[in-house]
Structures are given as structure tokens and as C-alpha cells.
Amino acid sequence: MPSVHDLTQQAGFVFEAEVEQLGASTASGFPATSETAVVRVTKIFKGPASLAQFAGQRVTVVLQSPVSLKAGQSASFFTHGLHYGEGLVVREVGNVPPEATMDSQVNSAAQAGSDNDLTQRLAQADLVVTGVAGAPKKYVADPTAGPRRISEHDPDWWVSTIKVDSVEKGVHSGATKDILFPHSMDIAWHRSPKVKEGDRGTWLLHNRDQYSKSVPSHAVVHPLDFQPMAQLERVRALLKSGQ
């Protein structure tokens, strides 16, 4: 049986709920089957802010087969979103009996997963610096580089000059560092850092984007590539542990 840690790593929405009805559905566009159950959420342990409203609400869970839960039984459900419409439907990756320490177990597992993701991103970075961002402006490519093909998912590079406080990884000797970031809100880039004047923190700089394509200069392209200053000691600890 998978552990709470493993289930938390796999699930995007984790909550405690009481089973109200088996073989039922709350969503008009998602028919009930022998594997669906309507449950009432009593506590949310992990999930996006958009699902916080479902505390105390009824949702439909597509249970794993064979179904062993019964009406009136409570469990901690580890799930992924499946259907959003007139009623929320989630698919179960596992469930366990309620425990008083479930909140701390899920938080611990989620933090471990977050640390692992950031450690990998730090390992991939060419340069990691701390500092404050200057006013961004549109990036103008070197005219000697020749014409550049523009795709439908063009990042629309902008540039900001970072006043460097410290170098945490790599080599950089200047007082400032120009960094690029995708200004585009296209689906390929909407979650990448959008640098604003005065942003201060740790910058994970890469010479390739998240699709492994080369970029014109060091850039922040992934949601984890900017960390607020409050995360500096965590970044330093993860850099040390990753050596």
C-alpha cells in the first residue's frame, strides 16, 4: 500500500471527506457509475487556491476499483481534478483512514516534494544570484545575429538589470547582471517569472528554456527561477545538500 508521502506526491488535491452516497454524481455532465461516490469535504490538506471553496461542499470522487468504502465512512482522499463544471469531479489515486496527524504528514510530504523540485532547478542553473531588479524593457536582439524565426509561442523577451547582492552559484564578478524573462502571456510562458522593478530575491539563471531550447542570454523561464528573499536560507541549504 502506498504511503501518505507517496500519495501526496502523486495527488494535486488532498482532503478528508465523508462518503454520502455510492454510485452517484454531483455533476450533471458526468454520469454516475459503480465507481463514483458523492462525498462531503470536511477538511482540505493540499490543493490549489481555486479549490479552497470546496471545504464543506459535496464533490464526486471516481474511486479505484474494487470499491471498498461504504456510505457514512470517512477517509482522506488523494486525488486529481477530472471534471470542472456544474459540480467538481476528482479521480482518486488512493485513500487512507483519517488520522489526527494527517495534516502534518501531508504538509511534510508536500514540502519534501517542493524541495526536490527546487533542488533540481538549482542543479540545472548556470548562475544563481541575489539582488534587486531594475525597470524592465523590451529586449533588442544583436543585429549581427541575423534574422530570428518567430513562432506562435514566441516568448517576447524582455530584459531587466539586477543589482547583484551575492553570487550563490557560478561565477559573476560585476555589480549588475542583465537577465531576460518571457514577457508573453501565451500558455507556454504564462507561469514564467514576470520581472517588475524592485523585485528582490534569488534569481536562478539558465541559458536554455524549459523546453531545452537555447536563449539569447541568461534568463528566468520557470516558475521556480525566482525565489523571494525570505527563501534565501532554504536556497542555500538546498544548494549545499545538492553538492
CA distances to 25, 43, 75, 108, 193 from 47, in Å:
21, 11, 17, 14, 21
End-to-end CA distance of the chain: 33
Structural domain count of the chain: 2
Q: Domain check: are 106 and 130 in the same one?
A: no
Q: Domain check: are 11 and 101 in the same one?
A: yes
Q: Domain check: are 135 and 87 in the same one?
A: no
Each residue's pLDDT tens digit in the chain (243 positions)? 688 999 999 999 999 999 999 999 999 889 999 999 999 999 999 998 889 999 999 999 999 999 999 999 999 999 999 988 788 999 999 999 999 999 999 999 988 989 999 999 999 999 999 999 999 999 998 666 555 555 667 899 999 999 999 999 999 999 999 999 999 999 889 999 999 999 999 999 999 998 889 999 999 999 999 999 999 999 999 999 876
Does a structural domain hold residue 147? no
**pTM of the full predicted structure?**
0.71
Does a structural domain hold residue 148? no
Question: 167 lies in which domain range?
Answer: 125-141+153-241
